[in-house]
Copies of this chain bind each other. A is one copy, B any other.
Amino acid sequence: MNDAEKMLLQLQALSHPVRLWIVAALTRERALYVSHLAREAGISRPLMKMHLRKLENAGLVASATGQADNGKMANFYRVTSFNLALSPETIAQVGPLPETLSVRGDSNV
């Protein structure tokens, strides 16, 4: 995966209100587990899991198994120390996205 693809993946991961909230929550709380996050956010656990997966695929959060307050094993997430600088220059630098410049005929538009 090149730089442009990675940047895109990170941007897509962060472009949702719930996922921004997750990052903020994990920044304040060090580590939280899935069910807990789902409750706090007011969404279902499967949905929370999907959001977390998206963030994890982009490398913005990481997961580990641990023990919750109540003794049950839980799936904890923490935020990674990413730093993404977005300016015209940094975007221009990463270069083209593969397959973005697909062959396509112009029409009467």
Q: Are B92 and A24 in contact (CB under 8 A)?
A: yes
Determine if A68 is an interface residue (Cβ-Cβ < 8 Å): no
User: How big is chain A's contact interface, by range?
Assistant: 35 or more
Q: Are B17 and A100 in contact (CB under 8 A)?
A: yes
Determine if A106 is an interface residue (Cβ-Cβ < 8 Å): yes
Q: Are A21 and B96 in contact (CB under 8 A)?
A: yes
**Residue of B12, B81, B109 touching A44 (CB-CB under 8 A):** B109
- Name A12's closest neighbour in chain B (CB-CB): B15
Please provide the chain A residues from 1 to 37 with a CB less than 8 Å away from any CB of chain B in the complex. 4, 7-8, 10-12, 14-18, 20-21, 23-24, 26-28
Chain A residues near B (Cβ < 8 Å): 4, 7-8, 10-12, 14-18, 20-21, 23-24, 26-28, 38-39, 41-46, 79-89, 91-92, 94-97, 100-104, 106-107, 109
8 interchain pairs, CB-CB under 8 A: A11-B11, A11-B14, A24-B95, A24-B96, A38-B109, A81-B87, A84-B86, A85-B85
